[in-house]
Amino acid sequence: MIDTSKGVHHLRSASVLLLFLAAQSGPAQAQSRSGTTLAAYKTIDICAVNTTTWRYSGTIALWNEGAVATQGLNIYDRIQNKTGTVWIDGPTALSGTMPDIPAGTTQQTATLFNYSVDAAALPGTIRNVATITILNRSGSIGTPKGPEPKATFTGEVKPCAQPGGCTYTQGYWGSKPGVVWPSPYDRNASFYLSGQSWQGVLDTPVNVSQGYYQLAHQFIAATLNVANGAAVPAGVSTTLTLADNWLSTNLPSACTSPGSCGQQKDWAEVLDQYNNGQYPGGPQHCE
């Protein structure tokens, strides 16, 4: 049962384990004039195209918490598998020089990179690894360095299929008159520790506490979409669970200091993509 008085929404999916890694050396205001910092978060989903071919897909979210734009952004994203003790590189999902990430990225300008590759079915444990480097990381100017997020898939590989249902954005759920929320959710229920209702959170501008309200807005929309019958890929399900756990223990004030809550903003980006019908392998946006 879901306890809407606390806003708890636990999705029972252990299909994806996501690790958040950040290349950082202090808050943005402490960066050198020419250096910056970059955070990364990623997901992985696997489905079977046929008996011999699997589709490996997901998204990489990049968030620049520094005071200057990145320089020389490069991504080398690949699938790996392990049957013993050694990880072996498999198909490359994404590789090359990418557009640089602006400084002080907001939710509207944050960058997500989708990947999808059809390749042979792999035995053992499977993960996706993204080696992400920039040339102006604080403390390493001129040397390619950055985060290396990993996502390990541990669930059952099911046949690829057109995902059911469709998704609406937070604007639809929050401001469209006459929209009935799916059970058991109530606009007037208390939203975690915010001291506000679910509707009150949606009505609060994100600049009050960017990381918190960016995440909360997208979390509410995604939660309602799932309850409304939209299919939920494993990567989105795990992101919802991570967001649920964080919202259960944090106040809006947790994200008011400069450069804070970069990870939560990355979660919001993944959920925003899902809500807009743009997540790889996810349902389309409702007409």
Q: Are residues 154 and 25 in the same domain?
A: yes
Instruction: Report the C-alpha gap between 234 and 194 in whole angstroms.
Output: 27
**pLDDT given at position 266:** 87
pTM above the 0.85 mark?
no
Q: In this structure, is residue 182 part of a structural domain?
A: yes
Q: Are residues 89 and 186 in the same domain?
A: no
Q: Are residues 106 and 207 in the same domain?
A: no
Confidence band for 176, pLDDT divided at 50, 70 and 90: confident
Q: Are residues 206 and 256 in the same domain?
A: yes
Instruction: Report the C-alpha gap between 283 and 287 in whole angstroms.
Output: 12
Enumerate residues 6+ apart whose C-beta is below 8 A from 281. 45, 47, 55, 57, 116, 160, 163, 233
Q: Is 212 exposed, middle or buried (0-12, 13-18, 19+ CB in 10 A)?
A: buried
Q: Are residues 210 and 90 in the same domain?
A: no
Q: Are residues 119 and 176 in the same domain?
A: no
C-beta of residue 19 within 8 angstroms of C-beta of residue 153: no
**pLDDT given at position 66:** 77
Q: In this structure, is residue 114 part of a structural domain?
A: yes
C-beta of residue 253 within 8 angstroms of C-beta of residue 200: no
Q: How many domains does the chain have?
A: 2
**pLDDT given at position 256:** 92
Q: Are residues 141 and 225 in the same domain?
A: no
Q: In this structure, is residue 229 part of a structural domain?
A: yes
Q: In this structure, is residue 1 part of a structural domain?
A: no
Confidence band for 234, pLDDT divided at 50, 70 and 90: confident
Q: In this structure, is residue 238 part of a structural domain?
A: yes
Instruction: Report the C-alpha gap between 136 and 99 in whole angstroms.
Output: 14
Amino acid at 78: R
Mean pLDDT across the chain: 85
Q: In this structure, is residue 10 part of a structural domain?
A: no
C-beta of residue 4 within 8 angstroms of C-beta of residue 186: yes
- Over residues 112-151, the pLDDT tens digits come to 899 999 999 999 999 999 999 999 988 888 999 998 999 9
Q: Are residues 188 and 262 in the same domain?
A: yes
- Over residues 21-33, the pLDDT tens digits come to 333 333 322 233 3
Q: Are residues 146 and 35 in the same domain?
A: yes
Q: Are residues 139 and 74 in the same domain?
A: yes
Question: Per-residue DSSP letters for 34-68?
Answer: T-B-EEEEE--EEEESSSSEEEEEEEEEEEE-SSS
Q: Are residues 125 and 205 in the same domain?
A: no
Q: In this structure, is residue 75 part of a structural domain?
A: yes
Q: Are residues 155 and 170 in the same domain?
A: no
Q: In this structure, is residue 86 part of a structural domain?
A: yes
Structure tokens, 20:
């958040």
C-beta of residue 43 within 8 angstroms of C-beta of residue 59: yes
Helix residue spans in 176-209 (DSSP H): 198-202
**pLDDT given at position 16:** 39
CB count, 10 Å around CB of 102? 15
Helix residue spans in 120-190 (DSSP H): 170-175
Q: Which domain holds residue 90?
A: 16-159
Domain ends where: 159, 182, 216? 159
**CATH code of 115's domain:** 2.60.40.10
Domain ends where: 106, 138, 159? 159
Domain ends where: 109, 127, 159? 159
Span 153-170, average pLDDT: 89
